[in-house]
């Protein structure tokens, strides 16, 4: 069975989304180790969606569970990026903007719905979150060479 060109584009973007989330995870490890980010959004979401899950896992498995959850979200966001119209996906600025939209969506929708307190007062943390979401957008879009479908 041959996949349609549109399906191939969406799947390729989903894979880029996972890779982008992996890159974000690496950057997030650095920013949390430097105490720039106190509690990562994936950890906050997991604690609200599946209360007690991290408590039931051995401590050394927490990073892996959080990574898988984050990569899954990255997959979904990548698939959504691939579904954008071609004229948008090919614009060099759309990837970084897409990353910022994801961050804004977390702060304005996901966090309030789940009751996650994400005060926007610590500029170090906000700068770190902006940096890793810009990284996500750049990678998912294939910057500096956007998809050529």
Whether residue 18 contacts residue 74, with contact meaning beta carbons closer than 8 Å, is answered with yes
Q: Which tens digit of pLDDT belongs to each residue from 98-111?
A: 999 999 999 899 88
pLDDT at 37 (0 to 100): 83
**pLDDT tens across the length of the chain (149 residues):** 677 989 999 999 999 999 999 999 889 888 888 888 877 788 888 888 888 888 898 888 888 888 999 999 999 999 999 999 999 988 889 999 999 999 999 989 988 998 887 666 678 888 999 999 999 999 999 876 655 66
Query: Which pLDDT does position 73 carry in this prediction?
Result: 94
Provide the pLDDT for residue 18: 97
pLDDT tens per residue, range 23-32: 998 898 888 8
Contact predicate 89/146, CB 8 Å:
yes
DSSP string, 68-108: HHHHHHHHHHHHHHHTS-HHHHTSTTHHHHHHHHHHHHIII
- The answer to whether the beta carbons of residues 12 and 147 sit under 8 Å apart is yes
Domain chopping of the chain, boundaries: 5-141
* pLDDT score at 53: 84
Give exposure, 4-43, as e/b (b: 16+ Cβ within 10 Å). Answer: eeeeebbebbbebbbbbbebbbebbeebbeeebbeebbbb
Q: Can you give the pTM of this predicted structure? A: 0.87
Whole-number pLDDT of residue 13:
94
- pLDDT for residue 60: 87
């Amino acid at each position: 069975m041959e996949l349609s060109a549109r399906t191939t584009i969406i799947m390729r973007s989903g894979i880029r989304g996972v890779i982008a989330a992996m890159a974000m995870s690496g950057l997030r490890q650095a920013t949390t180790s430097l105490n720039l980010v106190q509690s990562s959004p994936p950890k906050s979401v997991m604690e609200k969606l599946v209360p007690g899950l991290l408590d039931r896992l051995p401590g050394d498995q927490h990073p892996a569970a959080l990574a898988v959850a984050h990569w899954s979200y990255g997959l979904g966001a990548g698939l959504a990026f691939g579904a954008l119209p071609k004229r948008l996906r090919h614009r060099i600025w759309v990837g970084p903007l897409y990353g910022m939209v994801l961050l804004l969506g977390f702060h304005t929708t996901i966090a309030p719905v789940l009751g996650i307190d994400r005060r926007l007062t610590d500029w170090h943390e906000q700068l770190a979150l902006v940096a890793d979401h810009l990284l996500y957008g750049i990678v998912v879009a294939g910057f500096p060479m956007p998809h050529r479908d």
